[in-house]
């Protein structure tokens, strides 16, 4: 049976041809090491707690501060839990945000791990 033609490796500047997206030299650089959402704690128990929280807090707090009324669709962890189950379930660490505000916060404030001494 005929085989598909080889494609260039997707790593910038790599001239190797491969059957996959990346050649053997660069395959390890692009392995997704992040666990699934359910393994990170976002399971049915979280979905129930999230739904209950959003019913009690229906407006995005960042938009409300700007004078806009926007429906909250995301329960954000004020301080990123980074796997800490106690911090994950601490409701005082939750805030209601719209998707736009949540994405902005995540990319600016929560993007990199903060080290405290």
Task: Return the higher-pLDDT residue of 82 and 117.
Answer: 82
> Is 82 a member of any domain?
yes
Helix, coil or strand: residue 38: coil
**Number of domains making up the chain:** 1
State mean pLDDT over 61-83. 94
Mean pLDDT (the chain) is 90
- Containing structural domain, residue 81: 44-108
> Is 95 a member of any domain?
yes
> Is 35 a member of any domain?
no
Is residue 99 predicted with pLDDT exceeding 70?
yes
Nearest residue to 73 (alpha-carbon basis) of 110, 49, 47, 99: 99
> Is 88 a member of any domain?
yes
Q: Per the structure block, which two tokens stand in for 26? A: 């660069």
């Amino acid at each position: 049976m005929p085989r598909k033609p080889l494609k260039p490796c997707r790593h910038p500047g790599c001239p190797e041809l491969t059957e996959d997206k990346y050649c053997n030299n660069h395959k390890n650089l692009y392995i997704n090491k992040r666990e699934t959402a359910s393994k990170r704690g976002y399971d049915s128990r979280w979905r129930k707690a999230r739904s209950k929280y959003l019913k009690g807090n229906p407006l995005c707090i960042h938009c409300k501060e700007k004078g806009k009324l926007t429906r909250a669709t995301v329960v954000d962890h004020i301080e990123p839990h980074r796997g800490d189950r106690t911090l994950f379930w601490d409701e005082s660490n939750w805030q209601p945000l719209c998707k736009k505000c949540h994405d902005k916060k995540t990319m600016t404030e929560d993007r990199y791990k903060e080290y405290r001494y």
